[in-house]
A and B are shown apart, each in its own frame.
Chain A
Amino acid sequence: MVLKDVITKENKNAFMLCNEAIVRGALEADVKVVAFYPGAPTSEVLDTFSDALGNFDYQMEITTNEKVALEVCAGASFAGLRSLTAMKSVGANVASDTLFVLGYTGVRGGLVLVIADDPHAHSSQSEEDGRFFAPNAYLPMLEPSSPQEAKDMVKKAFEISERHRVPVIIRTVTRVNHQSGIVRLETFERKEFKKVKWKELKEEFTTLGEVARQKKLKMLERTARLAEEFEDSEFNIVENRDSDVGVIASSVSYLYVLEALKMLNLHGKVGILKLGTTFPLPKNVIKNFIRDLKKVVVAEELSPYLEKEIYAIAKGTNPSLVIFGKYSGTFSEAWEYNPNLVAKGIASAMGVEYPDYESVIREAKQLKAIIPDRYPTFCAGCPHRATFVALNQALRIQASKGQEHFFANDIGCYSMWVFPPISQSDTSLCMGASVGVANGLTHAIEERVVAAVGDSTFYHAAIPALIDAVHNGNKFTLLILDNSVTAMTGQQSNPSTEFTAGWKQGKKVSIEGICKAIGVEFLEIVDSYDVKNNVEVFRKALEFDGLSVVISRRECALYGDRNKRRRGEPIVPFYVDKSICKRPYMCLRTFYCPAYDVDEDQQPHISPELCDGCSVCSKLCPFQSIKRTEVKT
């Protein structure tokens, strides 16, 4: 990304990732407070705000979780400042307790909340449809399809939020967040950041019992006003009203529709309603669009959110309208769409041929049968790999003594342990769940329960479950894999990092301090790379008749590389001395490092440009044949 385009006050066109365009829109709208917990596909919103922090006077927090992020924004908004947060929809689940009450309390300064869904579960545990937050919490929702629209909607959202005193949701999907395009940058002025006096504001933001009952009525009135306003919104666009076949689409599906119509040579021959305000829906706009149609295609990913409403509107407006969507079997609620799939749907409604893509995929599938899968895996030098190698050895020793185990994994880079060729996890649910699930399992199974959680996930959602474990005397082993950063989403800082947003100095929050304070009796701290020593520590932890916690600590390899580069230190790769290697493959068999392959003599080989120089494999070799490359000085 090119930061200069995000921060320039120039009036020009720039190539931008949608997540950067969201930041740009917020800067143009004079946002004053932003807070995030990173999560794909929104992480670059956080990263961009963090990188741009030195250029503007907004306040930024990288929070322990999404709920706190939303509350930071709410606090600032109550005092009249514009605030923004962005999260993936599973993060919005965590924030939802706060989200639902903000509909009741309302806000003062504009509060914009980006919620990103991940159809196809590219980088999530589920295909959640976050649109339902909007009607459920009575919060207005805008859905962009492109970076330009995202920027425009963010600016508009602040305005709507302030006018109606309500948080506004910008709902995206992965293919919108990770879409880049040309964005029109506008000049902007920013007001000086000033604190206000609360007593001068004289307002309360509360809700409970009778107060909540009264506010519910106000919330319904507000929603009705928004519905009326959205009837005239510039984000709902009708194209080619003359046809008797129409397509209704929102989000990225709208772009697939345009592409599909081009593929079908139907451009200009089919009516299109592009919906940008998807809660409250502009019912009259929809009514007018479908009134004279014979057929309508509804193109939306995941649930039939729009489709249900369209059925209800059609019942009174045009009962004979044939609706092609999920209920007709034209589209699926599963997985993401693409232009070909949408073309097929539109073609079936129109009774025309669509460009055959199934045979293209079949032919391709045959050709690529020869290539190996490339599953996500630990990076070269990743400390988690070393931790798990030691853990596995310890588990094998314990198994030989008759102690079997259960492994509860969690969300983070260590989730890679789920994928082949390793495939070693019994459970993997959502942030922090490993510890909660471990509590339940200790009551239910005979095996020793082992749970693993990373530093960021520990702070995010695992601490309450660990307190529960101590309080109830539950006996299991917890590994806390502390690699100093939130690695999986791009090495953002967290309370285990010595930095905060914008790489400003921050205070580290001690994981061992927390464990001690809540009364963990067995607590060990090890260096992840020290495999030999760690086998014994893990073994003792497994044998301990109670709750045992081991903190395996070593900074993320990529973060470490970044620090090394900053300090001007070289990354020195290792190599296999073929004259010593007797090919027991200890370096390959359990280690699965992507820097390794085998050469034409069937001997292990390390690619110097991939090796991170972590040295762990060299300690596994019984013949000491893996050596550090001599550094030329």
Chain B
Amino acid sequence: MSLNIFICGVGGQGLVLLTSVIGDACAKSGKKIITGEMYGLSQRSGTVSVHLRIGEDAFSPLIPYGQADIIIALEATEALRYIEYLKKDGIILMNKRIMHPPIETSKIITSKGSKYITVEDIVSKLKNWTTNIAVVEALKLARESGNVNTENTVFLGCLSTLEIFPAEESNIRESISEAVPKKTVEQNLKAFELGKKSAHDALCTLVKCKDTP
């Protein structure tokens, strides 16, 4: 059986780099992997998504609806935007961060009573699909690592703890070190560790993880 991971977020959050690191780590671990990447028109601030499939019997670069085992949402609203891909009772790893698009803010200032969407709003909707939801404060952890741009690596840390994720940790660390800018390797490895730790707090009570440290 293949492992299907749907990654989504906002342009600029490093989804493509994250995909490349996961793919490289899987290649190093001898796993077959196929991905379909969709980055639309804008370099920044648009919605970005990646279908990532590990295993011998994954043929299509797109995950069929309702067959993703995991959604990784680097931005909270994006978890809900692609919910049709997640299987019922699948796992959601989502950022606590919301990046309000300009169209939402323009409504707030022009129409009275208009309110921003909240993480609570999103989680309450997601619960109709699954209760395996881990909310990660990735931006805070990225700051803690010393580089605010490492949210993607925080999530890779979370993902690596799951028992169903097959790439070996030594390979993941090596792939990170090869893929990120030289100056940021240390920060990224720290973000990876922080991600692992946060997963143990938020996720491993819900689903099976590799041995706790």
- B-binding residues in A (CB < 8 A): 1-2, 4, 13-15, 17, 122-123, 146, 175, 178-182, 252, 255-256, 258-259, 262-263, 338-340, 343, 355, 357, 360-361, 363-365, 367-368, 370-380, 413, 415-416, 420-421, 487-488, 490, 558, 585, 588-589, 592-594, 596-598, 602, 607, 609-610
Contacts and interface: CB of A to CB of B under 8 A. Distances in A.
A364 B60 CA distance: 22
Interface stretch (B23-31, B155-163, B189-197): B23-31
Interface of B: 10, 12, 19-20, 23-24, 26-27, 32-47, 57-62, 64-66, 77-78, 80-81, 83-84, 99-109, 116-117, 121-122, 125-126, 128-129, 139, 148-149, 178-179
Nearest to A336: B62
B61 A593 contact: no
B42 A376 contact: yes
Contacts of B65: 340, 357, 360-361
A490 to B, nearest CB: 7
Contacts of A607: 99
Contact of B46 (A365, A375, A597): A375
B84 A15 contact: no
Given A122-B40, A594-B101, A597-B105, A370 B20 contact: no
A363 to B, nearest CB: 8
Given A2-B20, A181-B35, A256 B60 contact: yes
Contact of A371 (B39, B77, B105, B179): B77
Given A180-B34, A338-B62, 4 more contacts: A365-B84, A413-B42, A416-B42, A589-B106
Nearest to B102: A592
B43 A339 contact: no
B144 to A, nearest CB: 14
13 contacts: A2-B24, A175-B61, A181-B61, A361-B84, A367-B125, A368-B81, A370-B122, A376-B46, A488-B41, A490-B43, A592-B105, A597-B116, A602-B108
A182 B148 contact: no
A594 B103 contact: no
B84 A364 contact: yes
B84 A372 contact: no
A201 B45 CA distance: 54
Contacts of A182: 27, 32-34
A596 B80 contact: no
Contact of B37 (A4, A180, A585, A598): A180
Contacts of A263: 64
A520 to B, nearest CB: 31
Contacts of B77: 371-372, 374
A379 B42 contact: yes
B102 A596 contact: yes
Contacts of B10: 374
Contacts of A256: 60, 62
A198 B147 CA distance: 56
A374 B105 contact: no
Residue from B27, B57, B99, B139 having most chain A Cβ neighbours under 10 A = B27
Given A4-B178, A181-B33, A339-B60, A372 B38 contact: no
A377 B46 contact: yes
Contact of A377 (B42, B64, B116): B42
Contact of B117 (A259, A370, A377, A602): A370
A247 B23 CA distance: 31
A488 B80 CA distance: 27
A487 B42 CA distance: 10
A25 to B, nearest CB: 18
A178 B42 CA distance: 16
Given A180-B19, A421-B103, A597-B116, A374 B125 contact: no
A602 B114 CA distance: 11
Contacts of B57: 262
- A378, A588, A597, most chain B CB atoms within 10 A: A597
Contacts of B46: 374-377
B92 to A, nearest CB: 12
Contacts of B12: 379, 610
A594 B45 contact: yes
A178 B20 contact: no
A177 to B, nearest CB: 9
A489 B139 CA distance: 28
A298 B65 CA distance: 22
A175 B36 contact: yes
A380 B179 CA distance: 25
A588 B105 contact: yes
A302 B27 CA distance: 33
A585 B102 CA distance: 13
Contacts of B179: 2
A175 B62 contact: yes
Nearest to A123: B41
A380 B43 CA distance: 11
Given A258-B59, A379-B44, A598-B108, A373 B101 contact: yes
A416 B80 contact: no
B43 A558 contact: yes
A13 B31 CA distance: 10
Contact of A598 (B44, B103, B105): B105
A370 B121 contact: yes
A614 to B, nearest CB: 13
Nearest to B75: A374
B59 A179 contact: no
Residue from A1, A15, A372 whose CB has the most chain B CB atoms within 10 Å: A15
Nearest to B61: A179
Contacts of B121: 370
B35 to A, nearest CB: 4
Contacts of A490: 43
Top 4 A-B pairs, shortest CB-CB distance = A15-B23, A364-B84, A376-B42, A258-B59
Contact of B99 (A15, A593, A594): A594
A594 B44 contact: yes
Contacts of B60: 252, 255-256, 258-259, 338-339
A211 B106 CA distance: 64
Nearest to B27: A15
B139 A377 contact: no
Q: B24, B36, B77, B78 — which one has the most chain A CB atoms within 10 A of its CB?
A: B36
A372 B104 contact: yes
B59 A262 contact: yes
Contact of B106 (A339, A365, A588, A610): A588
Nearest to B83: A364
Given A339-B60, A340-B64, A597-B100, A371 B44 contact: no
B41 A416 contact: yes
A204 B170 CA distance: 59
B44 A558 contact: yes
Contacts of B122: 370-371
B29 to A, nearest CB: 11
Contacts of A363: 84, 128
A1 B33 CA distance: 15
A2 B178 contact: yes
B172 to A, nearest CB: 13
